[in-house]
Structure 1
Amino acid sequence: MNEKQFSVIKWYLVGFVTLTIWTMLIWQYLHTGVPSHYFLQRADMPEISNWWGGFLLPFLTWLAMVRVQKRLLKKPSEHTRLLCKQALFSFATALCYGAMLSLSFVTGYTEISAILFPAILFIAIFFRVYREEFILGFILSMSITFGAVLPTIFGAVIALASAIVYFFVQFIYLKIKIYTATKPRDEGN
């Protein structure tokens, strides 16, 4: 995949997200009104309208796609197709994960959502969930339920925490690997 093909995909995705969020906002406005959400579900906290999603989601989609494009196109061309498939799989996985988290929260299964949210840090030990495709999928899936701003804040916190977890675990693993490789072996004397 070359840069021109990726740019076409990027603009289609940005257009799809823009059309989807604005359709949803207009439908909400004409029917029940555009909802607002409070931080931590507390009325004494600031209220954030879903209207912000009309600007925030297309911008985040564009930004994530630009960063993915830069990362993927730096690699040799024979690896680009595989990396694109991996990025798409990562995006779809995060989309499903965020949808499960939202659905469990909305249906009253807070025990499940209380497990799913911190489980991301456990998953971060093995996978780079701080990458753009994961965070974008997570934000897009949760913004249907919580608006765009709150999932973006949570996504940023998750990205930072998961990057710290991933790189810390990799650092420890590398140190153990170096230590065990350089440690003199006991020959049974």
Structure 2
Amino acid sequence: MNENNFSRIALYCTVLVTVAIWALLAWSHYHGGVPSHHLLARKELPAISNWWGGLLLPVLTGLLLYRIRKQAFGKNDSDSDSPQPLRREIYGFVGALSFGVLISVLFTAGASDVAGNVMLGLFAFAFFVPIYRPECLLGFVLGMTYTFGAVLPLLIGTLVGLVGLVLHGYIRRALVYAGSKLALLLPVSKPKSNG
């Protein structure tokens, strides 16, 4: 796939997300009203209307797909192929989308404690896998949009991504570096020859 093809697909995806969110908002409007969600699910905190998703989600999709394109193709010519297949980006997107849907299903089913524990387990996962990448944020937000709107998943996803960046990008690297230096200090025993 070259950069021009990816740009065309990204544009189609952005249009698809725009049509989908506005269709969801229109359906919600005519079936009981567009819901609002309180921050941290507390009534005393401000509520955020799902109408904001109509503006936020298309812009977020376009920006994150632009970031994915820049990471995948860099400064290549627009007709040149990606130096690497987009497999990592697709796996990250599908994994985050599945995770967002899982959290939404658990929360809707009334298992908010389980959903909270699954979110905490994500931090252990973030130590080994880079969950801070743009495809992960996009998948996470899209997976949770039907249940929570677009704003709250974006806030949560950004926070989780920042924690994931610290865990994977800094703490993990520091531990690997310290472990490699410690391994160099250990004495190496030579095998005894039988003879």
Relative to the length of structure 2, the TM-score reads: 0.89
For structure 2, the 5+ residue unaligned runs are 191-195
Alignment of 1:15 onto 2:15: yes
Structure-2 residue corresponding to 1:142 = 144
Of the candidates 144, 147, 154, which is equivalent to residue 152 of structure 1? 154
Alignment of 1:30 onto 2:30: yes
C-alpha separation in 2, matches of 1:184 and 1:41: 52
Structure-1 residue corresponding to 2:74 = 74
Q: Deviations over 1:117-152 (max 9, x none)?
A: 111111111100000101110011111101111111
Superposition map of 1:1-189 within 5 A: 1-74=1-74, 77=81, 79-81=83-85, 84-167=86-169, 168-181=171-184, 183=185, 185=187, 187=189
Letter of the structure 2 residue corresponding to residue 161 of structure 1: V
C-alpha deviation, 1:78, in angstroms: 6.3
Over the aligned positions, Cα root-mean-square deviation in angstroms equals: 1.7
Q: Higher helix share goes to which structure?
A: 1
Letter of the structure 2 residue corresponding to residue 62 of structure 1: G
C-alpha deviation, 1:186, in angstroms: 5.3
Bigger-Rg structure (1/2): 2
C-alpha deviation, 1:64, in angstroms: 0.7
Q: Deviations over 1:33-91 (max 9, x none)?
A: 1111101111211111000000101111111101110001039846422xx12211110
Q: Secondary structure at the match of 1:48?
A: strand
C-alpha separation in 2, matches of 1:70 and 1:175: 32
Q: Secondary structure at the match of 1:80?
A: coil
Give 4+ residue runs of structure 1 displaced > 6 Å after superposition: none
Question: Retained in 1: the 8 A contact 2:133–2:161?
Answer: yes
Letter of the structure 1 residue corresponding to residue 182 of structure 2: Y
Letter of the structure 1 residue corresponding to residue 106 of structure 2: S
Relative to the length of structure 1, the TM-score reads: 0.92
Q: Number of residue pairs matched?
A: 185
Question: Retained in 1: the 8 A contact 2:73–2:82?
Answer: no
Q: Deviations over 1:141-175 (max 9, x none)?
A: 11110111111110110010010011211221122
